[in-house]
Amino acid sequence: MASTLLKKAILTNPQYLRKTVGVLCNGVRNHWNYQYKPGAYPKTPEERAAAAKKYGMTIEEYQPYPEEMGYGDYPKLPDIGADSRDPHYPYDNPEFKRNFNEPIHASAEIFGEDRYDPAMRPRFSVGRQWTWFLGVVGGSMALYFYLEDYKMGRPVTAKQYPGDGPHYLFASK
């Protein structure tokens, strides 16, 4: 009886419905760890030690971003992509090559295995890339200008319009 009344109250009252949907969506939406929210920029050695402990680092290896960047006390991690990390190390989360409680880089969306890795050397030099680019674009332009007089297309005759008079075949009575 009580569950029926509750269901009826939720379905008929939009305020209950909004609150219920909000609670359900909130459980899905807030999936990040609130403890990793950056605090204020550390100005004293005690604040630096507390921030280092918060992110699971030693005081010697903890280095925050400059204050004007606005990252607060978040640690400045080395720019190492996931592709450069040891593939045989027994990570806690092997598909992302991360361990439990390991801080994430501030630009983590850039350093995935399928993305930019500053430690990797490019396959071709910049000069070779420019040579290929200019060769392809220049060759295409040369072909276009050379073959411009040889147009290809469907042959079409001129339009055949009748002279003065009706433009239809039926007669009106």
- For the stretch 12-59, pLDDT in tens is 665 555 555 555 554 444 445 565 578 889 999 999 999 999 888 999
Q: Can you give the residue ranges of every domain in the chain?
A: 40-75, 77-125
List the structure tokens of 164: 């003065």
Exposure letters 143-173 (e unless 16+ CB within 10 A, then b) = eeeeeeeeeeeeeeeeeeeeeeeeeeeeeee
pLDDT digits (tens, 9 = 90+) for 64-112: 999 888 888 999 998 888 888 888 999 998 888 888 888 888 888 887 7
Cβ distance 64 to 42 under 8 Å?
A: yes
Q: CA 33 → CA 23, 29, 55, 74, distances in Å?
A: 18, 12, 12, 14
* Residue where the block lists tokens 């411009």: 148
Rounded distance, CA 101 to CA 14, Å? Answer: 41
